[in-house]
Amino acid sequence: MRETASTIIIEENNFYLNVYVDPFNKRIRVDDYRGNTSIVLKQAEELVYQHKAEKLIIKGRLEDLRFFYEKGLQPEVILDGYFLGSDAYFFSKFYTNDRKKNEHWLKEDEIIQNIYQLDKSVEKAYPPKEYELKKADESCAEQLSTLYRQVFEIYPTPLHDPEYVKKTMKEGTVYYVFFHDGKIVSAASAEMNLFYKNAELTDCATLPEYRGKYGLMKILLKELEGELKSQGVFCAYSIARSLSFGMNAALYQLGYSYRGRFMNNCYIYDKLEDMNLWVKNLANC
């Protein structure tokens, strides 16, 4: 049985802390904080030890950069415009030697270098009428879970469970899908933070036999971008497997900019993987 992730909010007289506890990926993520930063970090590390986590991630603000450097945290990515237009600086700390090891860093660097040589103007033909583009609802949950089971042996969230998919929909996550021959063959979602006006484009999956033909994923992401803009959300970002040339290339060709890499961030596909961050200001397009 997979241990359920949860959000913990701690609020005292001199600090506020919003933490995502992620047992499956053995990490603690500080999504928001205010007040005394020393106490915030101390409380976050107590949760790391309590839950036997291997990695701490903090979404930091510009004014706290020096503090996190002094405390030995490692800067990993910058996310433009995350906090109502102000940038977020993601810092990490590792608690085991194995979690800090990386055998693919140079290869992942090479992938980014090669992607930035691609021609952004190349457009694929729009898929034929047999492909139906649709905004998914709860009736699609079973098929969505089937798709994620087929594409990912391991996934950082329990999308293999249709009830979890329904739960995310009820909480505001928007899914767009392509149907072909009555089944979902490609899907992507947007998780919106309407308070800070940002959104993560995520859960991108296409069946192997449908990849590279009509640019299905790019079309889905463009639809999601339109949905975000209609709700006044202009900070769009996505986190892609660092070893996936195709997904990173798709984001680059859609106008996203590379902003860094999370080391040994989550279990996805078939192992613990590094993840690249890409960001786009939708107000400029």
The model's pLDDT over 129-180, given as tens digits with 9 standing for 90+, comes to: 999 999 999 999 999 999 999 999 889 899 999 999 999 999 999 999 999 9
Q: Are residues 90 and 188 in the same domain?
A: no
Q: Token match 């200001």: residue?
A: 281
Q: Are residues 171 and 274 in the same domain?
A: yes
Q: Are residues 280 and 176 in the same domain?
A: yes
d(CA 54, CA 157): 17
Q: Are residues 59 and 114 in the same domain?
A: no
Q: Are residues 268 and 134 in the same domain?
A: yes
Say how many Å lie between the first and final Cα of the chain, rounded: 44
Q: Tell me if 1 is assigned to some domain.
A: no
pLDDT at position 1, please?
Answer: 58
pLDDT tens figures, 46-66: 999 999 999 999 999 999 999
Q: Are residues 92 and 111 in the same domain?
A: no
Q: At residue 124, does pLDDT exceed 80?
A: no
Which CATH number do you get for residue 33? Answer: 3.40.630.30
* Number of domains, the chain: 2
DSSP E strands in the chain: the ranges are 6-12, 15-22, 27-35, 55-60, 74-83, 86-94, 131-135, 174-180, 183-193, 198-206, 235-241, 257-268, 271-281
Q: Are residues 51 and 139 in the same domain?
A: no
Q: At residue 41, does pLDDT exceed 90?
A: yes
pLDDT band at 253 (very low <50, low <70, confident <90, very high): very high
pTM of the model: 0.94
Q: Are residues 149 and 220 in the same domain?
A: yes
Q: Are residues 72 and 132 in the same domain?
A: no
Q: Are residues 145 and 180 in the same domain?
A: yes
d(CA 65, CA 2): 35
Domain encompassing residue 184: 105-284
Q: Are residues 206 and 230 in the same domain?
A: yes
pLDDT at position 2, please?
Answer: 64
